[in-house]
Structure 1
Amino acid sequence: MTSDKPFRPPADGVVYGALDVGGTHVTGALIAFDQRQPVVRSVTRVSLQPDGTAEHLLSTIASCADSLAGRSGMDWAVAVPGPFDHERGVAQYRSVGKFDALYGVDLRGELSARMQARPGSLTFVNDAEAFLIGEWSHGAASGHVRVVGITLGTGVGSAFLADGTIVADGPLVPPEGRADLLQHDGRPLEDTVSRRAIIARYRERTGQLLDVRDIAARARGGEAVAQTLLDGTFRALGQALDPWLLRFAPTLVVVGGSMTGSWDLLEPAISSGLTGRYAASGVLARAAHPDSAALVGAVQQVRRTERLE
């Protein structure tokens, strides 16, 4: 979906700005649709500090948007992790390992004031839901009726989709459709499956402070501590998801996020935690567009509200 060619708007001239705010970075792009196919251009990625001040976080996000050189009055879609009040545009992060400084901040107002080109609108969308919509409409989950999306970055994001619609409540999905609210061995799932948890447990066992990518490299190199740690971590994810997959009955679970760079290690470990018809079903798939699916899905949500989808 992405291209390095100069951006040329389609005949209808409708171009959207899109931002995907992750735990360690923010990604931005300009997106248009040509005969309902997404055209993604001018992709940029900027690092941010999840434990930084509110000013750092807001200015970083706004500067990412500014770097795209969008026009004034453009509609923007912003994919953000929960907990977040999407309708009001207010962050609700508290003790979740990132963005605590944004608790109670009106991101719609603050970003609008900081962006050089005043946006026509800023629509906030859950990042896992945006990711799944993007992969369902134009990616690995295309053609599937019931799909689950899992994002693995600083924590665990999730979304459940049936017939093109997000399912966020009811007996077939976790509370609010959020895997991060699940537990494993009596503790919050993200105490086991998260960037901070993996780094902390590796340090406890080795005395070394390494990021997940480096721990994965050591696992591939045959280090037993790293292998055991990652196997146990992602088996736990499979075990926590298993009862909900059996209830929701998806035909595919598409996985995205920065940790999928270690898909060769993740996929067998997650699968080992699944039971029943999913134990050896090949239900897991890596995202086809890990860098742009959330951007495209967020814009598609805006287009749905505008009745263009």
Structure 2
Amino acid sequence: MRPVLEIGGTHVTAALVDLSAGTVHGRPAREPLTPQGGAEEILGRLARAASRLEAPPSATWGVAVPGPFDYAAGVALFQGVGKFDSLYGTDVGAALRARIRPAPAALRFVNDADAFGIGEHTGGAAAGHARAVCLTLGSGVGSAFLVDGMPVNDGPLVPPEGSAHRLVLDGRPLEETVSRRAIRAAYARAQDGDPDDVPDVRGIAARARAGDAPAGTVLAHAFRALGVAMAPWTIRFGAGVLVVGGSISASWDLVVAPLREGLSDGGAAGLRVAPALLPDTASLLGAARWAASSASDEEGSQGVRL
């Protein structure tokens, strides 16, 4: 069994993963997180969730965590991103090794979007594809460019740092068009309303299905834009599939058609598009596989280069 942590914006999940079966063993342990909390509070909750697992002594843990983060060194670089700022400069690896019981032998950190992609390749929608691109749509656009199930975060075939959120569309960052915040703002403009008073994306999707024309138009525009932005990179990378996960992908019936239209307009008409098959466990499986891979080769790097 491989112990893992998945650190999100509002909670941390600890689990034991059976990589041979590709499943999460038993019931995961969860603890709430306050992103604006102090460093000791946050680290304490991470360690509390981990210690509830009764993981094997001296295990190598996989830890999926959002950026900015120095994944090889295990040092937090959160600053000005609205979460975990109190951890800036903290050696999270050393802090957790000192707090988790039984004490880990090591912790291998991986970007949360990369962990999701690795997990989907392990037993989800990207399985069997030598090259795959996996996206997570929610507060932003997370991405993983995978070769044989391992992330590629450098080189000419992927965006800077392998990150779709670094892409620019029509002179603006992609996340100003495709994100929870951007979609809600666009719908508010269409309704001449206040962004704080409009529903979340799930609610906007429900309105679109009920015949609300502005809601349908806003969603179609966002997901077509995503396809246009991703098309040249899927071609350059040679992807066999584009997998979409994250909270926004729960409205897949409204995502898929405009996404395919945008891909087609961008020259990637034949690309296979699929929703994530493991939305709840992919990141856990991916963190476990990353830890196993990193422990075996000790490369200590975040991904591979093409």
Q: Distance in 2 between matches of 1:113 and 1:218?
A: 49
Q: Higher mean Cα deviation, 57-66 or 245-254?
A: 57-66
TM-score normalized with structure 1 length: 0.84
Q: Distance in 1 between matches of 2:288 and 2:173?
A: 32
Aligned residues: 291
SS of equivalent to 2:22? strand
Q: Distance in 1 between matches of 2:219 and 2:10?
A: 21
TM-score normalized with structure 2 length: 0.85
Q: Distance in 2 between matches of 1:49 and 1:222?
A: 38
**Pairing 1:292–2:277 present:** no
SS of equivalent to 2:277? coil
> Offset of 1:277 from its aligned partner?
5.3
Q: Distance in 2 between matches of 1:51 and 1:196?
A: 19
Q: What amino acid is the match of 1:206?
A: G
Instruction: Give 1:1-309 correspondences, 5 Å limit.
Output: 15-33=1-19, 36-41=20-25, 42-204=27-189, 205-207=192-194, 208-275=197-264, 278-279=268-269, 281=270, 283-307=272-296
> Offset of 1:60 from its aligned partner?
3.6
CA change 1:106–1:292 in 2 (3 A) is same
Determine which structure has greater relative contact order: mean sequence separation of CA pairs < 8 Å that are 6+ residues apart, divided by chain length: 2
Q: Higher mean Cα deviation, 217-226 or 53-62?
A: 53-62
> Offset of 1:134 from its aligned partner?
1.6
Q: Percent identity?
A: 51
SS of equivalent to 1:270? helix
CA change 1:219–1:68 in 2 (3 A) is farther
Q: What amino acid is the match of 1:217?
A: A
Q: What amino acid is the match of 2:142?
A: G
SS of equivalent to 1:296? helix
Q: What amino acid is the match of 2:8?
A: G
SS of equivalent to 1:274? helix
Q: Deviations over 1:209-235 (max 9, x none)?
A: 432222222222222232222222222
Runs of 5+ consecutive residues of structure 2 not aligned to the other structure: 298-306
Q: Deviations over 1:100-148 (max 9, x none)?
A: 3433222213333443443222110112222222211222111111111
Q: Distance in 2 between matches of 1:16 and 1:226?
A: 43
SS of equivalent to 1:109? helix
Runs of 5+ consecutive residues of structure 1 not aligned to the other structure: 1-14
SS of equivalent to 2:157? coil
> Offset of 1:269 from its aligned partner?
2.4
SS of equivalent to 2:296? coil
Q: What amino acid is the match of 1:30?
A: L
8 Å CA contact 1:153–1:195 kept in 2: the answer is yes
8 Å CA contact 1:23–1:153 kept in 2: the answer is no
CA change 1:136–1:62 in 2 (3 A) is same
Q: Higher mean Cα deviation, 193-202 or 128-137?
A: 193-202
CA change 1:48–1:267 in 2 (3 A) is farther
CA change 1:188–1:49 in 2 (3 A) is farther
Q: Distance in 1 between matches of 2:124 and 2:18?
A: 17
Cα RMSD for the two superposed structures: 2.4
